[in-house]
Structure 1
Amino acid sequence: MSSADKALILEGYVMKDKEPTIIGDASAIYPGKGWTTGVAVPGTMTRYNYNGSVVQYELVPKAVLQRARAYNGTLADRFGGGIPADAADEQGNPQELADAAYMRALSVDGGGAMARLSIPKISVNIAVYHTTLDDVLSEGVGHIYGTALPVGDPHTYTVLAAHSGGVQGMLFTRLSEMRQGDVFYLDVLGGEQGYRITDVRTITPERMERTLQQIRDAHQSGDATVTMVTCTPIGVNTDRLLVTGVRAPVPQSIPAASTQRDGTLIAVGVGVAVFALALAAAIVVRRRAKRRHGTRTR
């Protein structure tokens, strides 16, 4: 194998007939915009196939994880112990997009996907991407810049965010149903990580940065910790719901999260659809009434 071939492998590619080919494939549906008020639909993420060349397929995850761990080791120096609530420069440009080390670390499919999140209790099974920019949250769950990449190592703290509510997709709409003791899972490069929920709280947006730091500091000496964040109440979005889990053993058979088509999803979807139709009907009636009123007064 040439040095050029090895370089491609270390970047997350394998050689096929001397042409670089990204391992696996990815697809997504793209609605919605704006993570404080919008909603998104889950995409599907690369599913790695490790049945090919042992050398090629085993080098990739090791190299990608090694780079992610190296990046996590720089967080204290990069952010001074803080978790930026708004990672923008003086011109308002997102700093994370200019951070090549961040954007490349744990980018397992070449398109920014780093993991897959499964929450069986609420039928969530969606991709996790770098950043929480609008276009990212229109596809799935975003990783909050300044927190650890989800490699599952002890003493690491990861924060994930997604939309709630709306007709375009569920995502974290049912996150409020989660309770202490419930579990969720992250699939990173084919390795399953289990997390058991230890804390559920609602805060105001201005307390976000400080609260995330407090949760991180409380778990610094323990196992990997992940917090999931979304807006609440649905449709109002004045507060933030934080659901935190700590690394836990993975069962031999992980419960499958449905494709978000269970009874609760149907009920919520029907309710949202009925509300939308009622609102549209009210607008039409009001406009017709205005037209009639205008005709009579001429």
Structure 2
Amino acid sequence: MADRLMFDKLNGFGMKAERGDLFHIDFAGQTITYKVVSINVATPDDFTRLKIEPGRDIVTLLICTPYGINDHRLLVTGERTAMPETMEEQCESDGTTVYLTLYVIAFWIIVFVVASATLVHDEHGEEDVRRVYPSATFRSIRMV
């Protein structure tokens, strides 16, 4: 996973998370929006900021920091908020599932066409070659 950018944009890769920023989590077919309320750096053994707070719907994103050294943890905590209307429209019209479905269907169509062509060639290939090259000789080789 070293070649993946997971939460790296939270701290310095392209943009830096700030209080008031929004982030979204897709869960159980819903997109839930959170507003960043705190950003902290802690040691790996410090769990004091990772608590359940009764009456609050919060989530904390945790990543290793600084990049390449990874001896501390960046904790970005967000509190659930309403999704802005513009983001709601964007999430509804995402279409990722539609594209994935189309790619899978296209893949299986290609597999079917190649398999069919291979079977037809195996059944009729030698006869077609004999018509074009009547003097050609063929030897059958069987693999056991």
TM-score with structure 1 length normalisation? 0.27
Match among 216, 220, 230 for residue 54 of structure 2: 220
Q: Deviations over 1:32-72 (max 9, x none)?
A: 3xxxxxx2xxxxxxxxxxxxxxxxxxxxxxxxxxxxxxxxx
Alignment of 1:70-81 (within 5 A): none
Q: Whose Rg is larger?
A: 2
Q: How far apart are 1:226 and its partner, in Å?
A: 0.6
Distance 1:210 1:201 in 2: 11
Q: Deviations over 1:228-278 (max 9, x none)?
A: 000000000110000000000012231679xxxxxxxxxxxxxxxxxxxxx
Is it true that 1:174 corresponds to 2:9 in the alignment? yes
Q: What is the RMSD computed on CA atoms of the aligned residues?
A: 1.9
Q: Name 2:49's counterpart in structure 1.
A: 211
Q: Name 1:186's counterpart in structure 2.
A: 25
Distance 1:173 1:191 in 2: 24
Q: Deviations over 1:172-205 (max 9, x none)?
A: 1121211100001112232221100000000111
Amino acid in the other structure paired with 2:54: Q
Is it true that 1:195 corresponds to 2:30 in the alignment? no
Amino acid in the other structure paired with 1:232: T
Match among 234, 241, 251 for residue 74 of structure 2: 241
Distance 1:234 1:174 in 2: 11
Amino acid in the other structure paired with 2:66: P
Distance 1:187 1:175 in 2: 18
Q: 3-state SS of the aligned residue for 1:234?
A: coil
Amino acid in the other structure paired with 2:44: P
Distance 1:243 1:180 in 2: 9
Amino acid in the other structure paired with 1:228: L
Q: Deviations over 1:107-149 (max 9, x none)?
A: xxxxxxxxxxxxxxxxxxxxxxxxxxxxxxxxxxxxxxxxxxx
Q: 3-state SS of the aligned residue for 1:174?
A: helix
Distance 1:200 1:188 in 2: 23
- Unmatched 5+ residue regions in structure 2? 95-144
Q: How many residues align?
A: 86
Alignment of 1:1-298 (within 5 A): 32=1, 39=2, 168-176=3-11, 177-207=16-46, 209-213=47-51, 216=52, 219-222=53-56, 224-254=57-87
Distance 2:21 2:49 in 1: 21
Q: How far apart are 1:211 and its partner, in Å?
A: 2.5
Q: 3-state SS of the aligned residue for 1:228?
A: strand
